[in-house]
Chains A and B, each alone.
Chain A
Amino acid sequence: MSFPWANDYKPSHPFMVWMDEKLPLPRFVYNAVGGGYPVPRNLNYWWNFGFLALICLGIQIVTGVILAMHYAANQGVAFDSVEHIMRDVNWGWMLRYAHANGASAFFVVIYIHIFRGFFFGSYKAPREMVWLLGVVIFLLMMATAFMGYVLPWGQMSFWGAKVITGLFGAIPLVGEPIQHWLLGGFAPDNAALNRFFSLHFLLPFVIVGVVVLHIWALHIPGSSNPTGVEVKTESDTVPFYPYFIAKDGWAAGAFLLAYCAMVFFFPNALGHPDNYIPANPMQTPAHIVPEWYFWPFYAILRAFTQDFLIFPAKLMGVLAMFSAILVWFLLPWLDRSPVRSARYRPLYRKFFYALLVDAAVLGYCGGSPAEEPFVIISQIAAMYYFLHFLVILPIVSSIEKPDPLPYSITEAVLGADDHAALAAKA
């Protein structure tokens, strides 16, 4: 894409000139993430999380491909092969902990990335496609993470697989055949383990493909920014390289510090001890919980305990859980306010924080046992979650009186002082 003032790629070395004629890959990189991509000058740290997500995806693919060299996807030996990785393979413990905690880190980063989008209205026109592709990436991540968690074939692996594939059994008439088809049997067994391994290996590369589309779609209108005011002139932007490569690099350093602290000092803090017990189809763990990043959705699933008309509670729970994510696809059209950034939306800002609290409450309930008071709390929180998207957002965007927007990004950064603005232009 670009703005007319974007720097032009000018290869100087004869080899690069030759390369530019045969396969202009360096030109492509320069225009995508180099000096040829102008970005708003006011991007704050919340804008680093896309880059951090890319780092996480890289970590997961590298450690994952290596783990696959030592892992055996057979229900007889899968659990032992993971212990083999932990005890016998050189640095195997580190690679596995890096992969397991890498999944958690990926979700931390992606949830911040998503809530950045909620706050700053990143999903609004002209960036709807960026948002839609992002939701697709998130769904693929959830599928990949779920199948990866099954592979160690511990108790939580097995029962997680059983519960999640059991969701499909809620579909009327065809539910049970679909469930047996997905599992290749009547319960999770060798057939299921093998196909989950195959798909767990494949899907990350599908994610890479959708990430390329996500960034491509982003680069057509260009990045949004904390004011939500579109770029007007050259003084509103700086080239991606060196400015935001440097800023992303700094954020990457800070992120890797926290990540390595988890990997090396608290590698099992987010795991479940039950998953160090080999899978046993005859014994359900006392308290089945998915990984923490699924807790809010799990709470919504469990919030439905009563049948409603012809719909059994189980089906309602399943539909609600999937709808909780699918509703994001409608977000660009549910929030009709022309103002993007919550900085200038006093009313929406309050509801944004309410949603943040609501998601945290759902997460806490999803990780707790299915008993009171968590059931009633998740029911209220799940109702509020859907109210936020389907009722509150459309109403707020029609009744809210936004605060005055700055004239431009430059004005937002340097103030309305004419001299400063002129100096920046010069």
Chain B
Amino acid sequence: MADEAVIGTEQGEGVRRRDFINIAAVSAAGVGGLSVLYPLISQMAPSADVLAESSTEVDISAIKPGQAIKGMFRKQPVFIRNLTPAEIAAANKVDVGSLRDPETLDQRTKPGKANWLITMGVCTHLGCVPLGAGEGETKGEFGGYFCPCHGSQYDTAARIRKGPAPKNLEVPPYEFTSDTVVKIG
């Protein structure tokens, strides 16, 4: 100890060479450790092949008004529904301000294609597939979709109206490549 004190005073300041080595060593080990951590965490994110499967084309020519089909997008169901004029009217009649997740039907569909309601078939509560797209399935109190897991009810614009789900059914990115084909993703 006495020697170190002497060395310190010889340099004329309170910082010893050993302090510098300590800080440098701990910093290098810390930065090194953190950089190793990054790939260990990042490897858990969706891999390139999973991300590559994220676009799909659907032929909608056979869907008559009032009917719906279930497609698949990112390994999850997507509902493509041809709304009847009555369903569109019902969706437009709702006071948007009273909704939990306020959106109009027009905001949820493409211009001039208000009858084509394309949403994920994934309840925004905990991810179940709501009923209402299949033949003979219950559409719930609001004529849209009904999630059997925890009782969330969606209206004809697939907006959340009742139950625990926080948001409307998600509208995935999509475009009409022709009048009868939709490219989702």
* Structural contact, B166 and A313, CB atoms closer than 8 A: yes
- Among B54, B77, B150, B164, the residue within 8 A (CB) of A281 is B77
Interface residues of B in 110-132 (CB under 8 A from A): 121-122, 124-129
> Does B32 interact with chain A (Cβ within 8 Å)?
no
* Structural contact, A187 and B44, CB atoms closer than 8 A: no
* Structural contact, A189 and B149, CB atoms closer than 8 A: no
> Does B151 interact with chain A (Cβ within 8 Å)?
yes
A155 to chain B, nearest CB (A): 12
* Structural contact, B150 and A370, CB atoms closer than 8 A: yes
* Structural contact, B126 and A162, CB atoms closer than 8 A: yes
Known: A313-B164, A314-B166. A166 touches B50 (CB 8 A): no
* Structural contact, A284 and B44, CB atoms closer than 8 A: no
* Structural contact, A314 and B165, CB atoms closer than 8 A: yes
Q: Which of A1-9, A260-268, A301-309, A387-395 contacts B (4 or more CB under 8 A)?
A: A301-309
B58 to chain A, nearest CB (A): 14
Chain A residues within an 8 Å CB radius of B129: 282-284
Distance of A18 Cα from B149 Cα, bound (Å): 64
Interface residues of A in 150-185 (CB under 8 A from B): 159, 162-163, 165-167, 169-170, 180-185
> Does B148 interact with chain A (Cβ within 8 Å)?
yes
- Among B72, B75, B149, the residue within 8 A (CB) of A288 is B149
> Does B16 interact with chain A (Cβ within 8 Å)?
no
* Structural contact, B126 and A312, CB atoms closer than 8 A: no
* Structural contact, B127 and A162, CB atoms closer than 8 A: yes
Distance of A112 Cα from B92 Cα, bound (Å): 56
Distance of A282 Cα from B72 Cα, bound (Å): 8
A310 to chain B, nearest CB (A): 11
Query: Secondary structure at chain B's binding surface: helix, strand, loop or mixed?
Result: loop
Chain B residues within an 8 Å CB radius of A312: 166
A167 to chain B, nearest CB (A): 7
> Does A423 interact with chain B (Cβ within 8 Å)?
no
> Does B6 interact with chain A (Cβ within 8 Å)?
no
> Does A245 interact with chain B (Cβ within 8 Å)?
no
> Does B39 interact with chain A (Cβ within 8 Å)?
no
Chain B residues within an 8 Å CB radius of A169: 126-127
> Does B163 interact with chain A (Cβ within 8 Å)?
yes
* Structural contact, A302 and B46, CB atoms closer than 8 A: no
Distance of A183 Cα from B50 Cα, bound (Å): 11
* Structural contact, B74 and A187, CB atoms closer than 8 A: yes
Distance of A304 Cα from B46 Cα, bound (Å): 31
* Structural contact, A317 and B45, CB atoms closer than 8 A: no
> Does B47 interact with chain A (Cβ within 8 Å)?
yes
CB closest residue in chain B, given A307 = B100
* Structural contact, B126 and A180, CB atoms closer than 8 A: no
Distance of A163 Cα from B123 Cα, bound (Å): 10
Give 1 or 0 for each of B157-168: 1 = CB within 8 Å of chain A CB: 000000111100
Chain B residues within an 8 Å CB radius of A305: 163-164
> Does A286 interact with chain B (Cβ within 8 Å)?
yes
> Does B55 interact with chain A (Cβ within 8 Å)?
no
CB closest residue in chain B, given A280 = B129
> Does A401 interact with chain B (Cβ within 8 Å)?
no
Distance of A287 Cα from B47 Cα, bound (Å): 32
* Structural contact, A180 and B45, CB atoms closer than 8 A: yes
27 A-B pairs in the complex with CB atoms less than 8 angstroms apart: A162-B128, A163-B127, A163-B128, A166-B126, A167-B126, A180-B45, A181-B44, A184-B45, A185-B46, A185-B50, A185-B74, A186-B74, A186-B76, A187-B127, A189-B75, A191-B47, A281-B75, A281-B76, A282-B70, A283-B129, A286-B148, A307-B100, A307-B166, A312-B166, A314-B165, A370-B151, A371-B151
**B residues with CB within 8 A of A:** 44-47, 50, 54, 70, 72, 74-77, 100, 121-122, 124-129, 148-151, 163-166
**A residues with CB within 8 A of B:** 159, 162-163, 165-167, 169-170, 180-187, 189, 191, 195, 281-284, 286-288, 302, 304-305, 307, 312-315, 317, 370-371, 375
**What 7 pairs across the A-B complex have the smallest Cβ distances?**
A312-B166, A166-B126, A166-B127, A186-B74, A163-B126, A284-B129, A284-B128
Q: Other than A169-B126, A180-B45, give 16 A-B pairs with Cβ distance below 8 A.
A: A163-B127, A183-B46, A184-B50, A185-B75, A282-B70, A282-B77, A282-B121, A284-B128, A284-B149, A286-B148, A288-B149, A304-B164, A307-B100, A314-B166, A370-B150, A371-B151
